[in-house]
């Protein structure tokens, strides 16, 4: 989670720097600040006067002699950028986590919070110790006021789904709901059975 947040911040910072640099270039050229303040831009510097364009007709012709190619390239580039931005946005919404959750009880513990990752790890550890469970994975999503628990259990070949589900509800999930003071916290449980490991007979 920490590495993902750091990666997101890095990408946002880079995107912000690119947009800031492009905006300053357009601003300096549009207001003709180089001439007004007697500034000499570096050789080959783009957009130095209000009449400059970022990519002129001569540059476009150099890449392709077909007139339609330029518009197709622009549309394709914009479509790609929009698709990547939409993918990133949807991935962030799909990975939304509630963050710290207040600790419940009677009376509620004011000012005491429980991190969602700590709660999911505690549920997974308790669920993984249930009879017939080979592996347990838990994640908590949703908003802080409406968290949702997603539990994935891998049962041993001898495990009984009905009994395991009942033990999960009465044990780890019941403890988590008491801890957060949310008796109606929605929970989704997915069960799968581990495959038999073939034995070699000699």
* pLDDT higher at 152 or 59: 152
**Angle 170-173-176 from CA coordinates, rounded to 5°:** 125
Strands 146-155 and 187-193: parallel
b/e code 87-120 from CB counts within 10 Å (16+ = b): eeeeeeeeeebbeebbbbeeeeeeeeebebbebb
Q: Is the per-residue pLDDT at 196 higher than 50?
A: yes
The predicted-structure confidence for 26-47, as pLDDT tens digits, reads as follows 888 888 888 888 888 877 777 7
pLDDT band at 25 (very low <50, low <70, confident <90, very high): confident
pTM for the predicted model, two decimal places: 0.49
Residue 107 confidence (pLDDT):
46
Residue 2 confidence (pLDDT):
46
d(CA 115, CA 102): 9
Residue 126 confidence (pLDDT):
93
Contact 176, 123 (CB under 8 A): yes
The predicted-structure confidence for 133-192, as pLDDT tens digits, reads as follows 999 999 888 777 778 899 999 999 888 899 999 999 999 999 888 877 778 888 999 999
The predicted-structure confidence for 78-113, as pLDDT tens digits, reads as follows 888 888 888 877 766 655 566 666 666 444 455 566
Nearest C-alpha neighbor of 52 from the set 70, 71, 29:
29
Contact 139, 152 (CB under 8 A): no
Q: Using CA atoms in the order 118, 122, 123, 128, what is the torsion angle rounded to 10 degrees? A: 140
């Amino acid at each position: 989670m920490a590495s993902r947040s750091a990666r997101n911040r890095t990408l946002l910072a880079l995107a912000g720097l690119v947009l800031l640099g492009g905006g300053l270039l357009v601003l300096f050229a549009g207001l003709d600040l180089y001439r007004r303040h007697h500034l000499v831009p570096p050789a080959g510097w783009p957009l130095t006067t209000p009449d400059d364009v970022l990519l002129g007709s001569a540059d476009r012709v150099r890449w392709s002699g077909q007139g339609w190619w330029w518009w197709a390239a622009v549309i394709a580039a914009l479509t790609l950028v929009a698709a990547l931005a939409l993918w990133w946005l949807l991935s962030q919404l799909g990975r939304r986590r509630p963050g710290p959750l207040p600790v419940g009880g009677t009376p509620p513990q004011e000012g005491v919070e429980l991190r969602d990752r700590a709660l999911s790890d505690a549920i997974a550890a308790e669920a993984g110790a249930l009879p017939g469970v080979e592996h347990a994975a838990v994640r908590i999503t949703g908003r802080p006021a409406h968290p949702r628990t997603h539990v994935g259990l891998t049962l041993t070949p001898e495990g009984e789904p009905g009994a395991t589900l009942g033990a999960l509800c009465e044990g780890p999930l019941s403890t988590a709901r008491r801890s957060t003071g949310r008796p109606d916290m929605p929970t989704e449980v997915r069960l799968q059975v581990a495959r038999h490991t073939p034995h070699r007979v000699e």
